[in-house]
Amino acid sequence: MEKNPFLPLLKKQLGRTPKGNFLVVKICPFGFPVVIKNPPLVKGQPFPTNFWLTCPHLIKEVSRLEEKGFIKHFEEKLKYDHRFRNRYLKAHQEEVMLRKPYLTKDVPPKIKYKLLKGGIGGIENPTGVKCLHLHLASYLAGMDNPIGEEVYKKINRKWCSVFSPTEGKCQI
């Protein structure tokens, strides 16, 4: 198998090797990975997070939003905004559909159930939010994720000003 040319950089970005046969599905204007797509099975075990945010700048920005209480904000919005909630529930189902082609007859029923039960990032509560990073990753990967879309809009500077490939992180 051909080695992924992004692997050394992703190791620096994440501080570890990404799991399984991932694909880079979003790159920044500097040409570096922003989001990877993960397989739902890694070494025979369920890995329900389809999309993983790798950009150090965006990870930091999203962490700031989480610190400001935006997880709770979105959980509340899901309770009162029916249109937003319907889009969110549809996004969960679309992410489940991405896993289905991997669930062949040789995958044990328990693992199939786990991968089909959880939505975005494996979230089992359909109106739970869990983490804003996975929602932004989902949105940036092209999914119609309303939480990811709003998170992206709340980030003032979308990209770092200078990226250091040797360090695997942004210089802000």
pLDDT by residue (tens digit) across 27-75?
998 888 999 999 999 988 999 999 999 999 999 999 999 999 999 999 9
Determine the average pLDDT of the residues in 122-129: 93
Beta carbons of 57 and 159 less than 8 angstroms apart: yes
Determine the average pLDDT of the residues in 120-135: 94
pLDDT of 165 over the 70 cut: no
Beta carbons of 161 and 91 less than 8 angstroms apart: no
Question: How far does Cα 100 stand from its chain's mean position?
Answer: 18
Helix residue ranges, H only, 21-145: 56-67, 70-80, 82-99, 109-117, 132-140
What CA–CA distance (Å, rounded) separates 119 from 40? 12
Q: Across all residues in the chain, what is the average pLDDT?
A: 91
The total of other beta-carbon atoms located within 10 Å of residue 107's CB is 15
Beta carbons of 152 and 93 less than 8 angstroms apart: no
**φ, ψ at 73 (rounded to 5°):** -55, -50
What CA–CA distance (Å, rounded) separates 147 from 127? 11
Beta carbons of 68 and 155 less than 8 angstroms apart: no
In angstroms, what CA-CA distances link 52 with 33, 39, 84, 129?
Answer: 10, 11, 23, 15
Share of the chain above pLDDT 70, in %: 92
pLDDT of 1 over the 50 cut: no
- Given this model, what pLDDT does residue 55 score? 93
Q: pTM for the whole thing?
A: 0.91
**φ, ψ at 88 (rounded to 5°):** -65, -45
